[in-house]
Amino acid sequence: MGYWKFATQNRIEEVSFNPVLERFYGYGINGLIRENIQNSLDGKLPDSDLPVEVIIEKGEIETRLIPGIDEIKERIKVLYSHNIYANDTIKHMHNKLDQEVVNYISFEDRNTKGLRGATEGYCSGSANTYSAYAYSKGIHITDNNSEVEKSRGGSHGIGKIASNAASDLYVMYFANCDEYGNKHLGGTAQLVEHSYESSVYRATGYFTDEADNNHYFPYENKFDKVFSKDTRGLKIVIPYLRENFNDDKEIVRAICDNFFLSIYQNKLKVKYNEVLIDKENIKTIIYNADYYEQDLEKMKDVFTPLYLDTYLNKEKFEISIFDGNKDKYEFNLYFQYDTSILKGRVAVIRTIGMKIEDRKILNCATKPFNAVLIPKDSDGDSFLKSLENESHSELSVDHIKDSKEQKNSKKFLNNLSTEIRKILDDFIRKNNPVDGKIDTKDIIYDVENKFKTELKANTKIVKLSQSVEEKPIVKYDTKKKKEDKKEKDKTEKNKNEKEKKPAKKVKKTDKDNVTKQFIKVHPHMVRRFIHKDKEFLNINLSGEDVKNRPLLCNLMIKVIDGQGKERDNELNINTDYKAILDVQSGNLLSSEGEYIKNITLKNKNIGLEMDLNSSYNKTLKFLYYLEV
C-alpha cells in the first residue's frame, strides 16, 4: 500500500481538472499569499495578545526527499484526457517528471491553534478541523465563538486548493502540530480521473495512512526538515513551485498589498527568507521605490503607498451604509483628495486587516482621490464577508443565489458608492471654489449691439409712398438665406464625409515592446450598447480593405480621457469583464490587459457579448484597434 490514497470508481466520467485550479492559478502569487496568510490569521490563538507570525521560505529541494512523490509521478504518466486543455496540462506535468531538484515554497504559522483531532483521523464531526481540512472539499468549519467567526477571512471552503494550483504537479503538503504536541503530515494531489493498475480512480489523492476498515488517519511526521513542524500551528509546503510564482519582489509586494493594515496594527508579522515585515518596518518597505512606484501621477494599478498614507495621515469620516432591508452598517472611511492622483480607488479592508479589493466607485474611477474603508464592528465585517468572492479579492453579488438577498446586497453596494461620492463632491467644491459674481452688463450690451449690426446687414429697408407720407418696411433677403442654406448643406456633407473616412492603418507597440500593425476603427463603424450587466459591441468594417473570408483577429481597447487622449494600460479586461462571448463563433474568448484574443471576423463584422463585473465603470469611452 502506497503513501497516497485515491478512491476507486466504476468508470471515468470527468475528463477535466478541477476548474477551481485554473481560477486560482490565474490569481498568481498574489492569490497564493492572500489565501495562506488569511488562513493563518483565522487560526489565531484567541487568548493571545501576540501577533500571528508567518514564516515564508522559498528554496530548492531534491525530489527524492519529497514524501511519496514517485507514486504521483507514476500516476501522472498514465493520465490522459479527451479534453484538449486538460491534455496541455498533462503534457506540462510530463515535462517536469525528470527533474531531480525543484523549487518549493512553504508557509509556517505561529501563535495559532493548528488543526485539532488529527489522532482521530477521518471524522464527520464539526469539532475535527483536521479531518475537514485533510479529507473534505468545500467545507468551512465555523468557530464556536460567533464574534470570531464573523471576523474570519475564509468562508467558501475551497481556498486550500490555491496551494495545489501553485505546483506544476498540482500537489501540496501540510504539517500540523496541535496543542498536545502531536505532529502529523498530510497532503493532497489534484489530478484527473484515471485508470491505474487495472482500476479506475477519482481525481483527488490524499497523502494519508489507512486502517484495515478503510479509515483514514494521518502519518506521524518523521519526514525531511522542509516538511517538519515542531511548534503549535500549521505549515504548508508546495513542491514543484511554478516559475511565475517565483519572484522575490512580487512576494514581498503581495504580503504588503494584502495585509499592510494587519501588519501595521501588529496583528501580523511576516518573515520571507531574510526579509522581516512587521509594524516597525512596514512603512520603510512600502515607501521604498525598489518595491513600489512613489510618484502619484504614475500609480495606475498598485496603490498601497497611497493607501498607507491615507490611513496614517488623512481625515477620517464615520459613515453609515444601509442595505435593501434598511439595516445599518457603520464604517470608518479615511479619505484624501489630491489633484496629482490619476485614479480614484477605495481599499476595502476587513477587521482582521486583510484588503479585499481596490474598489472603483461608479463615475469616479478617474477622480483624484484615495480612500480606505474599514468596518467599525463585527456586523459590518460579517456583511462584507458575505459579499466576498471565493478568492477574497472582490465584493460581488454574483455568488448570491437568493434573488432577495442579491437585491439587498446590490442596494448596499450602490449606497456605499453614493456615500463616498458625496464626500468626494464636497472635497471638489472646497478645492474648486467659485470666484464670485460676474457683472454681465457690458457683455449683454456688446452682444445686443453685435446682433443689431448683423441683423441690419442681412435686411433691406423699402420705403412705400402713400399719400404725402412715406412708410419704411423691412424686406427679408431670401437670396442670403439660400446662400446660407447651401453653405450649411456643404458643411454637413463635408462633416459626414469626414465621419465616414476609411479606417487608418497604424503601428502600435504592445506590452512586450513589439511593434504591430493595427486598423484604427473609426467611431462610425462601432455600435456599443450597455444593458444592466451586459455590454454588446459590433464593429462593421464594410468598405474597408480586409478579407471577406472568416479569420481571427485581436482587438486592443484604449480608454479615452476627458480631453480625448488615449490612456495606455488604463483598461484591464480581466478585471472589468467576467466573460466575453464571440457572437460569430459562440466561443468564450480569452483576454490579457487591453487585448481580447482570437475574435472571429466574418463578413467584415465582429460581434461580442460581454458580462460586466459589478465594479465596471459604464461611463468609460473607448477607441478600438484591430490587429488582423
Q: Three-state DSSP class for 561? A: coil
Pair 338, 368: CB distance under 8 Å: yes
Pair 382, 142: CB distance under 8 Å: no
User: Looking at residue 48, what DSSP letter applies?
Assistant: -
Question: What is the C-alpha to C-alpha distance for residues 593 and 555, in angstroms, rounded to an integer?
Answer: 11
Inform me whether the pLDDT recorded for 440 exceeds 80: no
Phi, psi for residue 51 in degrees, rounded to 5: -70, 155
Is residue 502 very low, low, confident or very high in pLDDT (cuts 50, 70, 90)?
low
459-483 burial: b if 16+ Cβ within 10 Å, else e: eeeeeeeeeeeeeeeeeeeeeeeee
- Taking only the tens place, the pLDDT of each residue in 202-261 is 999 999 998 777 789 999 999 999 999 999 999 999 999 999 999 999 999 999 999 999
- Taking only the tens place, the pLDDT of each residue in 345-369 is 999 999 999 999 999 998 899 999 9
Q: What is the predicted pLDDT for the residue at 585?
A: 83
Pair 619, 564: CB distance under 8 Å: no
pTM: 0.69
Inform me whether the pLDDT recorded for 572 exceeds 90: no
Distance between the two ends of the chain, CA-based, in angstroms?
57
- Between these two residues, 467 and 394, which has the higher pLDDT value? 394
Lowest mean pLDDT among 166-170, 293-297, 599-603: 599-603
User: Looking at residue 51, what DSSP letter applies?
Assistant: P
Q: What is the mean pLDDT of residues 266-281?
A: 96
Q: What is the predicted pLDDT for the residue at 76?
A: 97
Inform me whether the pLDDT recorded for 151 exceeds 50: no
148 Cβ contact list (under 8 Å, min separation 6): 46
Is residue 620 very low, low, confident or very high in pLDDT (cuts 50, 70, 90)?
confident
Inform me whether the pLDDT recorded for 484 exceeds 70: no
Question: What is the C-alpha to C-alpha distance for residues 191 and 199, in angstroms, rounded to an integer?
Answer: 15
Inform me whether the pLDDT recorded for 49 exceeds 50: yes
Q: What is the predicted pLDDT for the residue at 156?
A: 37
Question: What is the C-alpha to C-alpha distance for residues 483 and 333, in angstroms, rounded to an integer?
Answer: 62
Angle value at C-alpha 293, between 393 and 163, nearest 5 degrees = 35
Question: What is the C-alpha to C-alpha distance for residues 586 and 579, in angstroms, rounded to an integer?
Answer: 12
At position 313, the amino acid (one-letter code) is N
Q: What is the predicted pLDDT for the residue at 481?
A: 55
Q: What is the predicted pLDDT for the residue at 48?
A: 92
Q: What is the predicted pLDDT for the residue at 511?
A: 59
Cα 232 to Cα 34, 53, 108, 308, distances in angstroms: 21, 12, 10, 32
Pair 327, 409: CB distance under 8 Å: no
Is residue 141 very low, low, confident or very high in pLDDT (cuts 50, 70, 90)?
low
Q: What is the predicted pLDDT for the residue at 290?
A: 96
Q: Which three cell numbers stand for residue 486?
A: 447651401
Pair 93, 102: CB distance under 8 Å: no
Return the half-sphere exposure (C-beta side, CA atoms, 13 A cut-off) of residue 141: 21
Angle between helices 84-94 and 69-77 (to 10 degrees): 130
Domains of the chain with CATH codes: 4-246 (no CATH), 295-431 (no CATH), 505-627 (2.60.40)
Pair 341, 299: CB distance under 8 Å: yes
Q: What is the predicted pLDDT for the residue at 39?
A: 93
Pair 199, 207: CB distance under 8 Å: no
Angle value at C-alpha 261, between 256 and 265, nearest 5 degrees = 125
Could you tell me how many residues make up the chain? 628
- Taking only the tens place, the pLDDT of each residue in 519-531 is 888 888 899 988 8
Q: Three-state DSSP class for 173? A: strand
Cα 277 to Cα 40, 107, 245, 254, 306, distances in angstroms: 16, 15, 20, 12, 18
Return the half-sphere exposure (C-beta side, CA atoms, 13 A cut-off) of residue 510: 17
Is residue 152 very low, low, confident or very high in pLDDT (cuts 50, 70, 90)?
very low
Closest to 259 (Cα-Cα) out of 249, 248, 270, 250? 270
Pair 22, 89: CB distance under 8 Å: no
- Taking only the tens place, the pLDDT of each residue in 328-350 is 999 999 999 999 999 999 999 99
Lowest mean pLDDT among 20-34, 375-389, 509-523: 509-523
Is residue 489 very low, low, confident or very high in pLDDT (cuts 50, 70, 90)?
low
Q: What is the mean pLDDT of residues 471-497?
A: 57
Q: What is the predicted pLDDT for the residue at 455?
A: 62
Phi, psi for residue 43 in degrees, rounded to 5: -95, 15
Quote the percentage of the chain above a pLDDT of 70: 82
pLDDT averaged over every residue in the chain: 86
Pair 518, 524: CB distance under 8 Å: no
Inform me whether the pLDDT recorded for 77 exceeds 70: yes
* 101-110/233-239 β-pairing: antiparallel
Q: What is the predicted pLDDT for the residue at 364?
A: 92
Question: What is the C-alpha to C-alpha distance for residues 441 and 284, in angstroms, rounded to an integer?
Answer: 60
- Taking only the tens place, the pLDDT of each residue in 303-314 is 999 999 999 999
